[in-house]
Structures are given as C-alpha cells and as structure tokens.
Amino acid sequence: MIDVLVAGGGPVGLATAIGCALAGLSVTVAEPRVTPVDKACGEGVMPAAVRRLAALGVTPDGYPLRGIRYLDGRHQAEAVFRHQAGLGVRRTTLHAALAERAAALGVTVQPARVAGFEQHADHVTAAGLDARYLVAADGLHSPIRRTLERETAAGPGQRVSRRRRPAPRYGLRRHYRVAPWSDLVEVHWAAGAEAYVTPVSADVVGVALLCARAAGEPDGPGDGVADGPVDGFAARLTAFPGLLDRLAGAAPASALRGAGPLRQDVRRRVYGRVLLAGDASGYLDALTGEGIGTGLAQAGALAACLAAGRPADYERAWRRVSGPAWRLTAGLLWSRNQPLLAPRIVPAAQRLPWLFSALVNHAAQA
C-alpha cells in the first residue's frame, strides 16, 4: 500500500506530490493527459507562488514580472511588486518543471483517469491502487468532488439564489508571437470582460479573457481546446481597441483554450481519507491571478497534515491559507458585478495609487 494517491497531475497535484515526497511519504500521481499538460490560464505566477515553487525545488524559466497595470482606454494605474518579482510562465513549462522535480523525488506518474474510488477504514482504493489517502486535485469540475458531494448529500456550497447570482464567468486564452511591450501584467477592462496580457518569453505574450458566455455559445462545464468554426476570441478582443493595436499583425502562437464556469462553491475539503486541493477544492475567479499561488499553499498545508497523520486538520489549514486571496477576489468580483461601481475601478486605482499598490501587493503575497 502507498501513502498517497494524487488524482490530477496539474500544478497543485504535482506540488502536493512533491510536498508529500519531501515529507517521506510514498506517492503516485494519476494523470490521464500527456506531459507537459497545457491549460487555459493567464500564466502570471505571483511573487508568493514563485517563492513557494522555489521552496519545493522548482524554478521554471519564464519572463520576470515587475507588477500589474490596469487600463480601461481612458485611465491607467500601475503597481509594482514590493518584495520580489513574479514570473510569466507557459503552463507547459511550469508543468514540465514540476513533473521533473516530482520524478527526481521518486514520485510515480500513472497515465490514468480516476473514474471511481472505494473508501475503507484504513485506506482508499482507486486506479487499481491501495493508498492511505486519496487527494483529489482534478481541477475545477472535479469528478471526485462531485461523487463525494452526491454520496454524502453535502451538495455544492453555493447558497446565493439563482436570481441574484451573477452570470457564470469563463476564461479563454491564446498566445501571440510578439515581443512584450511591458514587464507588467496588463489587465484591460471593458464592460463585462477583462483581458489579461502576460509576457511569457522574449517573443510571446499570452492573452486571457475573462467574461460571461455570449448568447448562442454552448453552455455547460468545459476545460479544453476551444477552437471552433466561429473565432469568438477575436470577436471579443474588439472590446479592447488599445490591446488590438498592440497585437496588430502578431501571429497566434497557440491553440485557443477555454475553461469554465469558473466559480465553484465547495462546502468541505475533507471526506475521511479523501481530500480536495487546488481548483477542485473551490474556486471563485481568475480576476486576481493567484490560483496557482493559493493552490501551492493548499498543497503545502495538505502535505503537512498527511505527513503528521492528521488529515482532519486540513479543513482549517485550507481556510487559513486560502482565506486572504479568497476575500480579495470576492471583493473585487463583487465590485466588478455592480453596474455603478465596475466602470469606476480603473479610475479609482489611478486616483488612489497607494490603495491600488497595497491591494496588488496583498494579492502578490496571498
């Protein structure tokens, strides 16, 4: 019997595996996709995440990021990271670096999808293996979380009535071959959508769009390649004329990928010997760009709880490490969803640079 089976070899699953291996536990990761795994992401790794990766012995190549710039066509505001630079990193590069470190520590990766599991008094059986613990790091729409919620009637955590709930948001991303024009992550704001520009190398920038799904587009959960007969990405970019000017003539450098709906309310993270981490454990929005950093913090907390043989402590540890980023994202998302407040976000950031800097640095360290 192994100590830990991790379902999902994304950044959080691999970081959990590395943390557990460093703590002396035997670990296998089940990941159905081929390394290096790509995913729709803004690819801005915040300073705290860079630090957490380094603590695991993972130092991916990337483009140093000095801070954040908000723009809305008429206003702009900049905030510089005070303590350490962030890093723009292609997901494939990040995945390869994490996978390499995990392999060096003796973590086995099994090319498998965890389709079901059985929980016993002292172990869990899944993917043909017996493990003392099963960690579900299987992403936003975690099949394992859904099974657990169904079996225990816990249900998803969302309590807001359907009428008051804002439209679900989705993410799309594509890369362009063009030299970065800034070492700040640019967040372009338009009515109902934001475009994130993150340099990831000397000649490629990533553009991630966050928005509600347009009328006529297919609904339902998704995470994958989003290229279709209608280029909805190009159509949506027209809401950002300043960005379109920057990208004029630049060739796309990756397939279009999408993910969503982003918000996943989750009531609990610990179901006996099955524990949730990363996006699978609950997610609000990519608005503040700290999903990887928060997930890495959860991975560290989870590895410590499992190494100590105290899985039940993880729920409180999860709340402690996830709370700061969660509250910040919730606040900004709430403002974003208020018709009167939303157009005032970038002007306010420009008028109150000290406040903008404090919030950006709070997010950077969260």
Ligand X SMILES: Cc1cc2nc3c(=O)[nH]c(=O)nc-3n(C[C@H](O)[C@H](O)[C@H](O)COP(=O)(O)OP(=O)(O)OC[C@H]3O[C@@H](n4cnc5c(N)ncnc54)[C@H](O)[C@@H]3O)c2cc1C
Structure tokens at 63: 């483009």
List 17, 39, 72, 145, residue binding ligand X (CB under 6 A): 39
292 binds ligand X (CB under 6 A): yes
Question: Between residues 227 and 347, which has the closer beta carbon with respect to ligand X?
Answer: 227
Contact region with ligand X (CB under 6 A), list: 156-164, 277-285, 306-314, 320-328: 277-285
CA dist list (Å): 219 to 84, 166, 222, 266? 40, 15, 9, 21
139 binds ligand X (CB under 6 A): yes
Question: Between residues 33 and 177, which has the closer beta carbon with respect to ligand X?
Answer: 33
In whole angstroms, what is the distance from residue 347 CA to residue 356 CA?
11
Contact region with ligand X (CB under 6 A), list: 58-66, 241-249, 289-297, 322-330: 289-297
149 binds ligand X (CB under 6 A): no
Q: What does the DSSP 8-state code read for residue 137? A: -
Question: Between residues 89 and 247, which has the closer beta carbon with respect to ligand X?
Answer: 89
Question: Between residues 34 and 249, which has the closer beta carbon with respect to ligand X?
Answer: 34
Element (H, E) at 189: strand 184-190
In whole angstroms, what is the distance from residue 214 CA to residue 3 CA?
45
Question: Between residues 30 and 346, which has the closer beta carbon with respect to ligand X?
Answer: 30
Side chain identity at residue 75, one-letter code = H
Q: What interhelical angle do 91-104 and 11-22 show, nearest 10?
A: 20
Measured in residues, the chain has a length of 366
Q: What is the nearest approach in angstroms of ligand X to the Cβ of residue 161?
A: 25
Side chain identity at residue 97, one-letter code = A
Find the radius of gyration of the CA atoms of the chain. 20
309: which residues sit within 8 A by CB, 6+ positions away? none
CB-CB contact of 225 with 38 (8 Å): no
Q: What is the nearest approach in angstroms of ligand X to the Cβ of residue 283?
A: 7
Site string (250-269) toward ligand X, x via CB under 6 A: ---------x--x-------
Q: What is the nearest approach in angstroms of ligand X to the Cβ of residue 305?
A: 17
Query: Which residues of the chain form contacts with ligand X (CB under 6 A)?
Result: 7-13, 30-33, 37, 39-44, 113-114, 137-139, 143, 171, 173, 208, 259, 262, 278-280, 286, 289-293, 295
